[in-house]
Structure 1
Amino acid sequence: MPRTAREKSRTGIYHMILRGINRQTIFEDDEDGNRFMQTLEEYQKKSEFKLYAYCLMGNHAHLLVKEEKEDLGVAMRRIGASYVYWYNWKYERCGHLFQDRYKSETVEDDQYFLTVLRYIHQNPVKAGLIKEAADYTWSSYREFLGTPKLVETDFVLGFFDSDKGKAIEKFKVFHTAEGRESCLEIDEKKKWKDSEAIELIKHVCQIAHCKEAQNLNKEKQCEYLKRLSAEGLSARQIGRITGIGRWVIHKAIES
């Protein structure tokens, strides 16, 4: 069956999600994150789209963008192809990296624009990776507090106040409220088979056998447990496979 055409936004603004095929991790380390951001910057200049927010998670990325000179579909394909070529070279792999086409939803009014903005910045908070949006390296949140690099911060801050200092303070307050609105999701609710979970645990924790996770230093163990939880593994499943106590896992996830 032919693909259905994507809904066009009257404002030209879209919330977009790029996700790894079969939930594959697409950002293994900081080098990967930096490479993706460099690719995004390169094609932003060529396509002239406006970027209002972004967040890179382990196996997906959120973008809040406005279509300008070039069709966003073309721009996203170029970004994806460039990043995949580099990723496959680095990890000595071949084949697809991203799941089908990117997902997108239209953003038609100011209220929903702010809803999506907060949703994107709160992604790592809700995933249990950090406590506050400002603690996360791979989102646009910090650009609004300091010197912007890729994001059109003045446009966004204009929603909060005409005075930039006051706008930043209101922006921060806005992001402390828990957004309960429904946005385009990444569909990560699938249950992992134990065989899949075992491979994921070994990959994330960089170990040969899952039981070795018990012997990791506490800081690394906590970091890896958060990542496994964010990938969709339950505390019960992690505990059953690794032998780590469920109380330890819950404490790490919630820290």
Structure 2
Amino acid sequence: MLNLSASNRLRIGRYSEHNRIYLLTTNTAGRQPVFSDFALGRLVASQFSVAEEMGIASTLAWVVMPDHFHWLIELKRGSLGELMQRTKSLSTKAVNLSTGRQASLWQSGFHDRALRREEDLVKLARYIVANPLRAGLVKKLGDYPLWDAIWV
């Protein structure tokens, strides 16, 4: 019997299609609430901008929660694996440089969901950025600093 790790199971059937919209999610190692420090969360968010500037992905919405992030993108070039590897690697370097830590920041693997064009992207973006409200981190969305959406 084949025994696959959770991160390998996440990769089975993954297909990266350019100009397709994806919801990407990944967790910190051990679900540590690293981004309760908003300055460290900003270091992750800056990598979303880098991917956009490099023409790899267009960012539609994102939220950085204390122990994970959700990122709604349109993939422009490369693969989802390459995008996430680059984002996680560069954000780890930035956080480790800022804090002096040398630990791994992220769990291996990530979750992706390809979206159909007819799905209501504005509704999904609102759901993504409302994560801090549902988690009870803030009373109103404007009080949480680690989110953005092109429609809001």
Which TM bucket (shorter chain)?
A: 0.7 to 0.9
2-structure distance, mates of 1:59, 1:91: 16
2-structure distance, mates of 1:130, 1:35: 21
Contact 2:132/2:144 (<8 A) preserved: yes
1-structure distance, mates of 2:119, 2:143: 25
Aligned 1:172-183 pairs, distance under 5 A:
none
1:113–1:4 distance in 2 versus 1, CA, 3 Å = same
Which secondary structure state, in structure 1, belongs to the residue aligned with residue 50 of structure 2? helix
More strand, by proportion? 2
1:75–1:49 distance in 2 versus 1, CA, 3 Å = same
TM-score computed with the length of structure 1 as normaliser: 0.50
1:136–1:126 distance in 2 versus 1, CA, 3 Å = same
Equivalent residue for 1:85, pick from 79, 83, 93: 93
1:43–1:8 distance in 2 versus 1, CA, 3 Å = closer
CA RMSD of aligned residues (A): 2.3
2-structure distance, mates of 1:79, 1:11: 19
1:131–1:12 distance in 2 versus 1, CA, 3 Å = same
* Greater C-alpha radius of gyration: 1
Which secondary structure state, in structure 2, belongs to the residue aligned with residue 64 of structure 1? strand
* Other-structure match for 2:114: 106
2:87 matches 1:75 = no
1:10–1:83 distance in 2 versus 1, CA, 3 Å = closer
TM-score computed with the length of structure 2 as normaliser: 0.80
Contact 2:45/2:146 (<8 A) preserved: no
* Other-structure match for 1:197: none
Higher relative contact order (CA 8 A, sep 6+): 2
Q: Give the gaps of 5 or more residues in structure 2.
A: none
2:31 matches 1:51 = no
Equivalent residue for 1:18, pick from 12, 26, 30: 26
* Other-structure match for 2:35: 27
2-structure distance, mates of 1:61, 1:110: 24
Aligned pairs, number? 144
Measure how far apart 1:10 and its partner are. Answer: 8.5
* Identity, % of aligned positions: 23
Contact 1:9/1:107 (<8 A) preserved: no
Equivalent residue for 1:38, pick from 32, 46, 65: 46
Measure how far apart 1:68 and its partner are. Answer: 0.5
Q: Give the gaps of 5 or more residues in structure 1.
A: 142-152, 157-170, 172-255
More helix, by proportion? 1
Contact 2:18/2:75 (<8 A) preserved: no
